[in-house]
Structure 1
Amino acid sequence: MPTARLSNGVHLSYDDHPGPDNTLDLPLVLVHGHPFDRSLWDPQVAAFAGAHRVITFDLRGYGESTARSAPQVADFGDFARDLEALLDHLKIERCALGGVSMGGQIVMDAYARFPDRIAGLLLADTSPAVDTEAGKAFRRETADRLMAEGMKGYADEVLHKMAAPYNPEAAAHVHRMMLAAQPQGAAAALRARAERPDYRPVLPKVTVPSLVIVGRDDTYTPVADAEAMHAALPDSTLSVIERAAHLPNLERPEEFNAAVSAWLARIP
């Protein structure tokens, strides 16, 4: 599992799964959410690696990108800056870029910063809007709680909002990732996320094929949020995954992957 020392001094652990022997092949780069790691994308790696070059990585402060990643994120844009530095490190000029939940917000932030390097957008179970004042306060309170108590109580409470109880294998994977997360990295991300900008003005400016996916039973980012993003994006398709909550890529990988495959086929 390689680790890249980026131009900004941050170390990120990543996996670079080779595609076909074709220099024109477009890499698929996938961004996980909070408080997970790159193993969130295991079903997509299994489905697409070989046919496509697939890159997954642990965000700063998560997974194996923790020990040498000082300082923690202070600004939400740090995540997109890290992503761009990783693309530089891997000598990737353009990619198809996808993210789920917080990862989707990072993807939107990345498109606002370096749109010319992005050939397609995948936004799964995410929202472009800023937090309300109450939402910001809740994220800060949760960050304080993680630092004081660790991850277990939080992980137990939110588990079945992340992955529905009728998807037990996915829920078990999600629980393992949350328990393994470092409180410092998760707390720093929550505080930065509370102050993220509004990405709604970005969506109408997106000029590349986009895919919006949402679990039918997602209560964090409900179907109505996905429909609004789909309506705002000039060239998008919407896929609602039945019997899935906030992480349909794990809960219903076959349906999720079918939607991703159709999206990839639309990207020049």
Structure 2
Amino acid sequence: MPPFLAYDDKNPGISSRVPLVLVHGHPFDRTMWHPQLAEFAAGRRVIAPDLRGYGASPVTPGTVPLARHAQDITGLLDHLGVDTCVLAGLSMGGQIVMECAARSGDRIRGLVLADTFPAAETPEGVRSRNAMADRLLAEGMRGYADEVLEKMVAPYADPEVKAHVHRMMTATSPQGAAAALRGRAERPDYRDLLARLPVPALVVVGADDTYTPVADAEAMHAALPDSALHVVEGAAHLPNLERPREFNRALGEFLARLDG
């Protein structure tokens, strides 16, 4: 049986280096990890899926909880024969990575939590996410993409990065994005999980991120038993695209520690 998710699997040969799995955020696709695929696939296996409802993966209308996304990733890793890895996620992807840690922590050598936060949704947030899901189904993605572009990346970001981010958002299925928003509104609280995490973690955040501010990253760093915190200056919600050299340096140092 072919895997449910579309994905890139770079450098799948045998290596002493731990594989890296990259989980994108909303409303993006696996192309948001191009700078990391280019940097790290030269010497290690790097896997980047399109989540259910995004990119080239099939759309499931209705509600897709984070647990379903985590099951999809676990199924993909089973299909690819990956029994241990570093799981890296950004924003919603970070919350999916936390869900994966809750479900199959024995597979995970380390977590990378970028521009994300572990708390459950507030009642206001539940209403807001469901209202946005309704809007995307009614209007499509373009108006939303135009509105949030300069919060996803900083207003001063490189024009090519802005264009890439806008393309990802407008190419996303409204049904897929809405289903993920409804599922994300139902997410559990992962703070206790992080406080008991038995593996190292890297927390990364853009200094100018307004969705998940530096204070959220500092709180995660303080709660985690074994973590490093890296604040990327000159970036907002997508530091891996806005400042790839600095993001890759922090990620590379973390991976080198785990390879050791």
Q: Structures share a fold, TM > 0.5? A: yes
Pick aligned residue for 1:44 from 24, 36, 43:
36
> Percent same amino acid at aligned positions?
62
Pick aligned residue for 1:115 from 81, 105, 109:
105
**2: distance between equivalents of 1:76 and 1:102?**
9
TM-fit CA distance, 1:204: 1.2
Secondary structure of the residue that 2:78 maps to in structure 1? helix
| Length-normalised TM-score, structure 1 | 0.93
Question: What are structure 1's unaligned runs of at least 5 residues?
Answer: none
Alignment of 1:99-248 (within 5 A): 99-167=89-157, 168-248=159-239
Q: Could you say which structure has the higher helix fraction?
A: 2
Q: Contact 2:60/2:179 (CA < 8 Å) preserved in 1?
A: no
Secondary structure of the residue that 1:50 maps to in structure 2? coil
Q: Contact 1:204/1:232 (CA < 8 Å) preserved in 2?
A: yes
Once the two structures are superposed, residues 159-184 of structure 1 have per-residue CA deviations (whole angstroms, 9 ceiling, x without a partner) of 01000121122211110000100000
Task: Kindly report the root-mean-square deviation, in angstroms, between the aligned alpha carbons of the 2 structures.
Answer: 1.3
Secondary structure of the residue that 2:112 maps to in structure 1? strand
Secondary structure of the residue that 2:16 maps to in structure 1? coil
Structure ranking higher on relative contact order (CA contacts 8 Å, 6+ apart): 2
Once the two structures are superposed, residues 93-147 of structure 1 have per-residue CA deviations (whole angstroms, 9 ceiling, x without a partner) of 0101100000000000100110000001000000000111111100000000000
Once the two structures are superposed, residues 229-258 of structure 1 have per-residue CA deviations (whole angstroms, 9 ceiling, x without a partner) of 001111100000001000000000000000
TM-fit CA distance, 1:24: 3.1
Secondary structure of the residue that 1:166 maps to in structure 2? coil
Residues paired across the two proteins, number: 258
Q: Contact 2:24/2:50 (CA < 8 Å) preserved in 1?
A: yes
**1: distance between equivalents of 2:218 and 2:124?**
24
TM-fit CA distance, 1:201: 0.7
**2: distance between equivalents of 1:23 and 1:262?**
18
TM-fit CA distance, 1:26: 1.4
Are 2:256 and 1:259 aligned?
A: no
Pick aligned residue for 1:5 from 2, 6, 15:
2
With over 3 angstroms needed to count, the CA separation of the structure-2 counterparts of 1:183 and 1:205, relative to structure 1, is same
Pick aligned residue for 1:58 from 50, 61, 64:
50
Q: Contact 1:73/1:79 (CA < 8 Å) preserved in 2?
A: no
